[in-house]
Copies of this chain bind each other. A is one copy, B any other.
């Protein structure tokens, strides 16, 4: 059953002969499995294909609408939520704006509101979710508690599973946002196929997420990738070079600083170019420490500055390459501000897939349309 299900995923509608060959099973076996999966609601039959001769060919497809997942990105200035079907197609989305000073209660309300908004947009209720994943800045324990957050006020100690289970349960996975962004880059970004990956979030703050062997690597205590905590490697002061650019209009919101500085540098403003130079220098130090420890296949630069890759990449390479034994592969994210929320969706989908493909467990229930 699991073999047949696996062979059907991500392929649209296929016939029984093709399914048998993909699953490595006999045609009669596959025919029986298909009937069982049709009955349990995991398969749907598409209109048959009429060939030039013979009987019309029956076509089956995986019912992506047999369940849904929710991904959430809790940021400093917003909470983003996406609802996707089991093939990862977005069916609902919502964004709640916040200030970076929002209290814990206000931010949690923002999470609930974004989740409800995305479900409403999808026309679904929370009962249709087979898994939900919340990405947050900070060090996250295996139990989903934020053990340490420097960026968000009152956020250290928040137990996101306990806080959100009633609203978007039953399954709430919690992960560090940079780790999820790394997962998204491998799923649908610039890192498809990468095994060992470093994702660097760069913008208002600087952080890193790691994949090893294609999978999330958070470390035993959830602290992998926290190289920014080492004062020797410049990440703590990197954003201050951008914020200190004298050409910024008074009262520029923090989330707009990087974009303005890079835009000015693109137009040749000497002070902006100097700020970018200093920023690239400090960013390179932390990346070099990650590269010299992990030797990844690829380093992906994401976060706010990824929109300015054309300006950043040259000085970054210039500072980074001499620090490493060999220049690392470097790419700029194209997922923009969707990286974390897409990674949350992917993590939730992986959780569902692990249940679907668990040969020792009974198949979860598929939902009707």
A55 adjacent to chain B (CB < 8 Å): no
Residue A226 contacts which of B195, B220, B232, B295 (CB distance < 8 angstroms)?
B295
Please tell me which stretch of A110-118, A257-265, A283-291 contacts chain B, meaning at least 4 of its Cβ atoms lie within 8 angstroms of it: A283-291
Chain B neighbourhood of A294, CB < 8 A: 219, 224, 293-294
**What are 5 A-B contacts defined by CB distance under 8 Å?**
A195-B220, A223-B292, A223-B325, A228-B292, A233-B233
Chain B neighbourhood of A323, CB < 8 A: 229-231
A33 adjacent to chain B (CB < 8 Å): no
Are A219 and B148 in contact, CB atoms less than 8 angstroms apart? no
Are A196 and B223 in contact, CB atoms less than 8 angstroms apart? no
Instruction: Scan A195-232; emit 1 where CB is below 8 A from any B CB, else 0.
Output: 11000000000000010110001111111111111111
Residue A295 contacts which of B213, B220, B324 (CB distance < 8 angstroms)?
B220
From A217, A221, A294, name the one whose CB has the most chain B CB atoms within 10 angstroms. Answer: A294
Given contacts A219-B196, A325-B139, A292 and B227 within 8 Å (CB-CB) = yes
Chain B neighbourhood of A148, CB < 8 A: 325
Shortest CB-to-CB span from A200 to chain B, Å, is 12
Residue A230 contacts which of B196, B225, B289 (CB distance < 8 angstroms)?
B289
The 9 closest A-B pairs by CB, nearest first: A219-B295, A223-B295, A293-B293, A224-B295, A289-B289, A227-B292, A226-B292, A232-B232, A220-B297
A326 adjacent to chain B (CB < 8 Å): yes
A88 adjacent to chain B (CB < 8 Å): no
Chain B neighbourhood of A210, CB < 8 A: 293
Instruction: Scan A50-66; emit 1 where CB is below 8 A from any B CB, else 0.
Output: 00000000000000000
Chain B neighbourhood of A231, CB < 8 A: 323
Q: How many residues of A contact B (CB 8 A)?
A: 38
Instruction: Scan A40-82; emit 1 where CB is below 8 A from any B CB, else 0.
Output: 0000000000000000000000000000000000000000000
Shortest CB-to-CB span from A331 to chain B, Å, is 15
Chain B neighbourhood of A217, CB < 8 A: 212
A296 adjacent to chain B (CB < 8 Å): yes
Shortest CB-to-CB span from A24 to chain B, Å, is 15
From A196, A289, A293, A297, name the one whose CB has the most chain B CB atoms within 10 angstroms. Answer: A293
Are A295 and B222 in contact, CB atoms less than 8 angstroms apart? yes
Shortest CB-to-CB span from A201 to chain B, Å, is 15
**Chain B residue with Cβ nearest A225:** B293
**Chain B residue with Cβ nearest A298:** B220
Chain B neighbourhood of A325, CB < 8 A: 139, 148, 223, 226, 229
- C-alpha gap A296/B217 in the complex (Å): 11
Shortest CB-to-CB span from A315 to chain B, Å, is 18
Shortest CB-to-CB span from A103 to chain B, Å, is 24
Chain B neighbourhood of A219, CB < 8 A: 196, 294-296
Chain B neighbourhood of A288, CB < 8 A: 230, 232
**Chain B residue with Cβ nearest A195:** B220
- C-alpha gap A296/B296 in the complex (Å): 17
Are A293 and B196 in contact, CB atoms less than 8 angstroms apart? no
- C-alpha gap A289/B286 in the complex (Å): 9
Chain B neighbourhood of A292, CB < 8 A: 223, 226-230, 289
Chain B neighbourhood of A218, CB < 8 A: 295
**10 additional contacts (CB under 8 A) given A212-B213, A289-B289, A289-B292:** A196-B219, A210-B293, A219-B294, A221-B326, A222-B295, A224-B294, A226-B325, A229-B292, A229-B325, A289-B293
